[in-house]
Structure 1
Amino acid sequence: MNQPELHQASIRDVEFGARVKLVEPCNVYGCKIGDDCFVGPFTEIQKGVRIGARTRVQSHAFICELVTVGEDCFVGHGVMFINDTFSTGGPARGRRELWRETVIGNRVSIGSNATIMPVRIADDVVIGAGSVVTGDITVAGTYAGNPARRLVQRK
């Protein structure tokens, strides 16, 4: 019988700010996490990700390469970030040139089980639980649905 190649969840090659709290198990590698952040259990934060100060990442979240999250943000339970848009009709299969970046502004709250495609989200935005963000959000407000649409504009 063949044996699988095993990889264990780990925390490695991370640049941590001051007073960061992580709850294991989690798989966090090659990223930068700012001061006073919290990362819950069963999360994966991949290489090159940058998370701003005072941001909370709740359990079961997946933050893939090419994602930047601003300061004072909230990433709810089970939030998934996507960097592969299947632009060729299928997965990029590791072809990084086909991946796209996501930039999240400051003071953004993303509800549980939301899916964030490669987009830019302005400061002071709330994304409802279960929403799918498929396009850039340039105006502060509350957005929800699939695809996410503005429900309330912030003043």
Structure 2
Amino acid sequence: MTGINLKRAAIVDVQAGENVTIVEPANVYGCALGDGVFVGPFVEIQRGVRVGARTRIQSHSFVCELVEIGEDCVIAHGVMFINDPFATGGPAKGRRELWKSTRIGSRVSIGSNATIMPVSVCDDVVIGAGAVVTKDIDVPGFYVGNPARLLRRLDADPSKREKHGRQ
């Protein structure tokens, strides 16, 4: 095994609220997880990430540095967050000053295999499976496609959604 630098998945330096569940193997380090957060297997959550209470991050998802996720969110299987927008035409190659942040509001559901570029997403949004979010989302609703676009609005008031037969 000469020349092999073996690294193992670990859970290190995590600030965790009450009743947090992390299913191994997972690589979770230097982040903050609110009460009742669930992290599925084969997930990486990097340093400085903040995850709000009762949020679920399903298997095979990657949450990079500079990401903040609100409360009561669902991050489905295989969701990728990106903090390097290739501002110089290629990878930042460790130049953190070129990275950008992402903020996900509360009650946001992100479908399987979606890619989230450095953006801000308001509360009460559903992002469809496979969508690529390249711009800020500031209107509650359902977003689909590449690049993600508004499919239909979602009334942020749950009582109004029920009256219209939509959830």
Give the TM bin, normalised by the shorter chain: over 0.9
Task: Provide the secondary structure at the position in 2 that maps to 1:151.
Answer: strand
For residues 149 and 59 of structure 1, what CA distance do their matches in structure 2 show? 25
- Quote the Cα distance in structure 2 between the aligned partners of 1:75 and 1:93: 27
Aligned length: 155
For the pair 1:51 / 2:51, whether they are aligned, the reply is: yes
Post-superposition offset of 1:2: 3.6
Unpaired runs of 5+ in structure 1? Answer: none
Matches within 5 A, 1:83-102: 83-102=83-102
Residues 4-153 of structure 1 correspond to what in structure 2 (within 5 A)? 4-153=4-153
Residues 48-67 of structure 1: CA distance to partner in whole angstroms, max 9, x if unpaired? Answer: 00000000000000000000
Residue identity opposite 2:154 in structure 1? R
| Structure 2: gaps (5+ residues) | 156-167
Higher-Rg structure is: 2
Matched letter for residue 100 of structure 1: K
Instruction: Give runs of ≥4 in structure 1 deviating > 2 Å.
Output: none
> Matched residues in 1 for 2:103 and 2:154: separation?
20
Query: What is the TM-score when the length of structure 2 is the normalising length?
Result: 0.91
Letter in 1 for 2:113: N
Amino acid at match of 2:102: T
**Structure 1 letter corresponding to 2:116:** I
**Same amino acid, percent of matched pairs:** 67
Q: Measure the CA separation in 2 of the matches of 1:31 and 1:21.
A: 14
Deviations 1:64-94 (A, max 9, x none): 0000000000000000000001111110011
Superposition TM-score, scaled by structure 1 size? 0.98
Residue 80 of structure 2 aligns with an amino acid whose one-letter code is M
Matched position secondary structure for 1:87: coil
Q: Which amino acid aligns with 1:49?
A: V
Query: Matched residues in 1 for 2:152 and 2:110: separation?
Result: 15
